[in-house]
Amino acid sequence: MDPAGQPPVIDYEGSDYRSRFWEGQGRSYEDRVERIALRRLLPPRGDTLIDLGAGFGRLADEYQGYRRVVLFDYSRSLLREAQERLGDDPRFIYVAGNWYNLPFVDGLFDALVQVRTIHHAADVPALFGELARVAYPAGHYILEFASKRNLKAMLRYHLRRQTWSPYEPEPVEFAALNFDFHPDWIRERLCEAGFEPEEIRAVSYFRLQPLKRLVPTGLLAALDRALQPAGRWVQLTPSVFVRSANPRGNAPAPSGAFFACPSCRTPLPDREETPPRLICPSCALIWQVENNLFDFKEPV
């Protein structure tokens, strides 16, 4: 916890994550199979979707069936990259903030997507509770998490190449603010938050550099697609997707309500234009809006 009692949050501000990790880095297989799983699990159409940890907007083109799409991240600079990539599409709303204090009214989102980011969550129950708050009744949460119970980790453990057990339920922090999770532990935490897991897919069966160099990406992705449904029964891959419903969620958000103060959760009125900003009518905190990026990381 930080001095204010909040869980720590990793900050990619100013990072070269896009070029260092994705572009030209031999991860076209991972990108393709994650999109396969997302298309299978995400309802194709809806009103309002949030991508948590959207970064530079890698998956934004998968949300064509949604009227409003919030790209949410703690890093302003990555969101600026997303704006540059996506242009002036009015469906996209760029929001910087802390996922433990989401700046949205209750019951807003009928779809929540979180891919390759929960491994940075130091307090998963707190995060799931916040997501359940902003989820629309009967909305869906599509989560991807890094699984500690994968074949590579099992082999390393039995060969005494790693000290932590892939069979123990507790998360393992293998580097600062980088966690792997046991599938059973994630499922239990989802249920505690009020989500109801519906479908599970095991993803990235062939995440091995030598294999990816030797075998065409399309063939590996096709094989992965065929094997993903087996995740319903057993998850031994490094990546697991789970779709959960929110059957006992909050009442739907009031018509026209969208942002809420992340400090006191009071619904925020429309932004003032000189300068662009949002002012909380309850606690008087002021939140900046700059070049269509809504900044809730800290008040001004």
Write out pLDDT tens, residues 168-187: 999 999 999 999 999 999 99
Q: Which has more confidence, 189 or 88?
A: 189
> Do residues 135 and 120 both lie within one domain?
yes
The count of structural domains within the chain is: 2
Q: Over range 56-78, report the average pLDDT.
A: 98
What does the alpha-carbon distance between residue 226 and residue 136 come to, in Å, rounded to a whole number?
32
71: which 2 tokens?
Answer: 């790209």
Place of tokens 């998963």: 124
What does the alpha-carbon distance between residue 293 and residue 43 come to, in Å, rounded to a whole number?
27
> Do residues 271 and 171 both lie within one domain?
no
> Do residues 210 and 292 both lie within one domain?
no
Given a contact cutoff of 8 angstroms between Cβ atoms, the answer to whether 71 and 51 are in contact is yes
**Which of 258, 276, 292 represents a domain boundary (last residue)?**
258
Q: Which helix H or strand E contains 184, and what residues bound it?
A: helix 183-193
The reply to whether 123 falls in a domain is yes
The reply to whether 131 falls in a domain is yes
Domain CATH code at residue 173: 3.40.50.150
The reply to whether 196 falls in a domain is yes
> Do residues 147 and 291 both lie within one domain?
no
Dump pLDDT digits (tens) for 206-261: 999 999 999 999 999 999 999 999 999 999 999 999 999 998 766 777 888 999 99
Given a contact cutoff of 8 angstroms between Cβ atoms, the answer to whether 292 and 86 are in contact is no
> Do residues 253 and 269 both lie within one domain?
no
What does the alpha-carbon distance between residue 242 and residue 222 come to, in Å, rounded to a whole number?
20
The reply to whether 9 falls in a domain is no
> Do residues 231 and 299 both lie within one domain?
no
Dump pLDDT digits (tens) for 92-124: 999 999 999 999 999 999 999 999 999 999 999
Name 155's Cβ contacts closer than 8 Å, sequence gap at least 6: 161
Name 281's Cβ contacts closer than 8 Å, sequence gap at least 6: 266, 268, 269
- Identify the domain containing residue 279 by its residue range: 261-300
Instruction: Give the global pTM.
Output: 0.96
> Do residues 238 and 281 both lie within one domain?
no
